[in-house]
Amino acid sequence: MADNKNAQEYASGRAKQKKEMESVPFLIDLIALESRGEGITGMSIVARSILNRQKYLKEKKDWEGVPVYRNAYLTDGKTDMMSLLTASGQYEPVKSDGKLDYDEQDPITAEDRDKARHALIIASNPELYADLVDAEQLPQEAFYATGFRARKAKEDASQNIGNFTYKNHIFNTATGTKKPYKK
């Protein structure tokens, strides 16, 4: 009986791992679309904020240990990367049908994707990311960023927590620890 349970757990784990791996090309394109004009540093901060969201959802607490509510980032409790990336209204390049909005006038290039891959590697590795934060003299909030908006985007008071600016983006450390206030 125990062998069967272990086999089921193994198969379930492999299926989850496969699902996460299938989200990587989408994630790379999203990073490129969101921040390709910001260089490796800006792309790395964007990538880190996305990875932080997933981490906090999975751990059910933010970087300070405060519980993250179930529907933070509008994923309805789902913690897989595609649910996070395609949640309604979370990332500008993601259309309402969950697909990326590729601009035919300004297509993603192979160089954009290479930079986004490089940025994702940096964001995924704590030592590399710490080196980037130090080298670029970024604030400590860069380690805990969970969101961002373009400078030209409308003001959103829920995002005014731990803000810092890098080039065209205002990043924040808002973690979904409080349910949004409904009027």
* β-strand partners of 170: 149, 165
Residue 67 structure tokens: 């519980």
Per-residue pLDDT of the chain (183 residues; tens, 9 = 90+): 566 667 667 666 566 666 667 899 999 999 999 999 999 999 999 999 999 999 999 999 998 998 998 888 899 889 999 999 999 989 999 999 999 999 888 899 999 999 999 999 999 999 999 999 999 999 999 999 999 998 888 888 888 899 999 999 999 999 887 755 544
Question: What Å distances lie between residue 126 and 50, 88, 142, CA to CA?
Answer: 14, 29, 12
Give the count of beta carbons closer than 10 Å to the beta carbon of residue 48.
26
Question: What's phi and psi for 159, nearest 5 deg?
Answer: -100, 0
Write out pLDDT tens, residues 77-109. Answer: 899 999 999 999 899 999 999 999 998 888 999
The distance from CA 106 to its chain's CA centroid, rounded to whole angstroms, is: 23
pLDDT at 17 (0 to 100) = 66
pLDDT at 177 (0 to 100) = 79
pLDDT at 59 (0 to 100) = 93
Write out pLDDT tens, residues 128-145. Answer: 999 999 999 999 999 999
Q: Which residues contact 157 (CB under 8 A, 6 or more apart)?
A: none
Taking the C-alpha atoms of residue 37 and residue 108, their distance in angstroms, rounded to an integer, is 11
Taking the C-alpha atoms of residue 59 and residue 79, their distance in angstroms, rounded to an integer, is 9
